[in-house]
Copies of this chain bind each other. A is one copy, B any other.
């Protein structure tokens, strides 16, 4: 979110933030143009000035999200020690990162994905592109065949548990799981 101080956020940004907040806190079906406009302190007409249709709004949300995720992965890659499993360890570093609002972050991502997918599955294309890019970087990672795929799938699975509010590992289980993941990402 645009939580930096300084000039007040533009109406466009406020609408995007509001839409994400509604989807995350009240669910996909609560995300209507009127609700987003109201939370962003913009009239419905004003919202439609920036996003001529609901699909345009969702598309903009997805593009912004995909941009952030690309940048986050690149940062994780740069901050990860080179060597065997570089791209894979970077991916795990990002998914397992313990910053305090990890849960909120995942919930926000999940809500945007669900809202967009509900309207039109094709809207997820920017996310598919990110996934493809990471898979390509993993290809020459020096890990045994199937290993990178397995770890990517596991990472996706943890995320899915968040998306659908399924079983979330407790702290101890998470620690063991993370250790196993990291071990497999560095063992040829």
> Smallest CB-CB separation from A152: which chain B residue?
B157
* A72 proximal to B (CB < 8 A): no
Q: Which of A152-177 contact B (CB under 8 A)?
A: 152-161, 163-167, 169, 173, 175-177
* A180 proximal to B (CB < 8 A): yes
- Asked if B28 and A146 make an inter-chain contact with CB atoms under 8 angstroms apart, the answer reads no
- Asked if A131 and B166 make an inter-chain contact with CB atoms under 8 angstroms apart, the answer reads yes
* A132 proximal to B (CB < 8 A): yes
Which of A132, A147, A160 has the most chain B CB atoms closer than 10 A to its own CB?
A: A160
Contacts of A163 in B (CB 8 A): 160
Contacts of A154 in B (CB 8 A): 150-151, 153-154, 157
Q: In the assembly, what is the distance between CA of A35 and CA of B146, in Å? A: 43
* A29 proximal to B (CB < 8 A): yes
Contacts of A39 in B (CB 8 A): none
Contacts of A29 in B (CB 8 A): 118-119
Indicate the size class of the contact surface on chain A: 35 or more
- Asked if A153 and B166 make an inter-chain contact with CB atoms under 8 angstroms apart, the answer reads no
- Asked if B113 and A176 make an inter-chain contact with CB atoms under 8 angstroms apart, the answer reads no
- Asked if B165 and A156 make an inter-chain contact with CB atoms under 8 angstroms apart, the answer reads no
- Asked if A177 and B146 make an inter-chain contact with CB atoms under 8 angstroms apart, the answer reads yes
Contacts of A27 in B (CB 8 A): 118, 121
- Report if A156-B149 is in contact (Cβ < 8 Å); known contacts: A29-B119, A118-B29: no
A160 to chain B, nearest CB (A): 4
- Report if A146-B113 is in contact (Cβ < 8 Å); known contacts: A154-B153, A159-B160, A167-B128: no
Chain A residues with CB under 8 Å of chain B are 27-29, 113-114, 117-119, 121, 124, 127-128, 131-132, 135, 144-147, 149-161, 163-167, 169, 173, 175-181, 184
Please list 9 pairs of residues, one from A and one from B, whose beta carbons are closer than 8 Å in the complex, sorted by A's number.
Answer: A29-B118, A29-B119, A113-B164, A114-B118, A145-B176, A147-B180, A150-B184, A153-B157, A153-B158
